[in-house]
Amino acid sequence: MTARLCADADDAVAGVRDGSTVLVGGFGMAGMPVALIDALIRQGAKDLTVVSNNAGNGDTGLAALLAEGRVRKVICSFPRQADSWVFDGLYRAGKVELEVVPQGTLAERLRAAGAGIGAFFCPTGAGTLLAEGKETREINGRLHVLEYPINGDVALISAHRADGMGNLVYRKTARNFGPVMATAATTVVVQVRETVETGAIDPETVVTPGIYVDRVVKVADHA
C-alpha cells in the first residue's frame, strides 16, 4: 500500500490502540517528531510502551506524553539527562518501567525487526549488568549476548522531505533512528517539513524508500 498524505497530525496518528508499542525517532530534540507526539497526546492511547533513544527532554514532546501518564514502559539507551525531570520523577515514583539497552543494540534490534532476523548474537554488554539473564555464547573467542528484535505497532518519525510515494530524505544528524524505525513497525507515520511531487526526489538520494511508509503529514514549523 502506498503512503497516504494526511490532512493533519491528528489524522496521521488516528487509530493508535491502547497497549501499543510506539517507536519514537529522534536523538535529543534532533529528529524528534514533536507534532506527532502532541497529536498522540490528544488522540488518547494509553498503556503504551515507548521505544526511543531518550526518555523526553523538558516538558514537551515525549516528556509531555509521559507526564500525561500514558506510558507504561520506556525502552531506551539514555533516560537520564539534565532536562529529563519528567521521566526521573515518574521512575523514582515507580510509575514507569524502564528497560535500558545499549544504544547500538537498540538500533540493531530495531534493524533486525525490520529485516526479519529472529535474534542475533552481539558482543556489546557481554559480562555486564545489562546482559544478566540473557543467553550468551562464545564465538571466535569472544563472549556474545543473544538479543531479540524490537517490533513496533506504530513508528512516529520525522524526516525532511517526502514525495507522493512516501520516499524520504532526512537532514544531517536528525536522520538518526528514523530509517531503522521506519522498517520496524506495522504502521509508520512520518512528519516532514516539505512534500514534493512524486519524481521530484532523485532516486539516488532516497534514504527511506516509500515501501516502509504508511502515512505522511506536512508540519509547517517542524515543531
Which residues contact another protein by CB under 8 A?
27-31, 53, 77-81, 88, 91-92, 98, 100-108, 110-111, 122-130, 143, 160, 170-180, 207
Rounded Cα distance between 86 and 117, Å, is: 35
Taking the least distance from each CB to another protein, the nearer of 20 and 183 is 183
Give the three-state DSSP class for 174: helix
Residue 213 CB, shortest distance to another protein, in Å, is 15
Taking the least distance from each CB to another protein, the nearer of 22 and 113 is 113
Give the three-state DSSP class for 162: strand
Taking the least distance from each CB to another protein, the nearer of 58 and 164 is 58
Taking the least distance from each CB to another protein, the nearer of 1 and 133 is 133
Residue 44 CB, shortest distance to another protein, in Å, is 28
Q: Which helix (H) or strand (E) holds 147?
A: strand 142-147
Residue 94 CB, shortest distance to another protein, in Å, is 12
Residue 40 CB, shortest distance to another protein, in Å, is 21
Which residue has 519514537 as its cell numbers? 24
| 134 DSSP 8-state letter | S
Alpha-carbon torsion (139, 145, 151, 156), positive or negative: negative
Amino acid identity of 215? R
- 151 burial via Cβ count (<10 Å: 0-12, 13-18, 19+): middle
Rounded Cα distance between 103 and 29, Å, is: 16
Alpha-carbon torsion (134, 138, 142, 146), positive or negative: negative
Contact 156, 24 (CB under 8 A): yes
Residue 2 CB, shortest distance to another protein, in Å, is 23
Taking the least distance from each CB to another protein, the nearer of 48 and 180 is 180
Residue 173 CB, shortest distance to another protein, in Å, is 5
Taking the least distance from each CB to another protein, the nearer of 129 and 220 is 129
